[in-house]
Amino acid sequence: MRARTKFIMGAVLITGSVGYLMASGIKDTGVYFVTPAELAEKVEADPSIYDVGVRMGARVVTGSITRDVASQTITFEVTDGVQTYPVVYRGIAPDTFDDEVDVVVEGRLSLDGTFRATTLLAKCGSRYEAQPAA
């Protein structure tokens, strides 16, 4: 074999291996982004969704937030206007987390219908936007 052929075969082998590792890593860590209504549809279609990490975007239901300071647990409900899910999050909430704020929660849906969030992100309020000119 010539040196050029060996080099090309080695390059193809390395590129293929790196591509495979990247694809399998993305597959293992990828998380779906759904609304509560889409999550309800997925549960009806495939009950194995309970074991899959999900990222859900919705709005916090007014008056549903309860905080347990001792255990740093926050329970609240999220909705998209069609479906509502109770959420349990353990940790410190962002400063912008409040009633009627848009949130993204990442976690897993338990069999009792409660969303167990491991990550809580709240949308920044309009106070960070420029005021319209008079």
| 2.40.50.140, 3.30.565.10, 2.60.40.10, 3.20.10.10: CATH of 31-124 | 2.40.50.140
> Is 0.85 topped by the overall pTM?
no
Reading the chain (134 residues) residue by residue, the pLDDT tens digits are: 788 898 999 999 999 999 888 887 776 666 668 999 999 998 999 888 887 888 999 999 999 999 998 999 999 999 999 999 999 999 999 888 988 899 999 999 999 999 999 999 998 765 555 566 66
The dihedral through the CA atoms of 104, 107, 108, 113 has a sign that is: negative
Amino acid occupying residue 122: A
User: Cα separation of 54 and 40, whole Å?
Assistant: 12
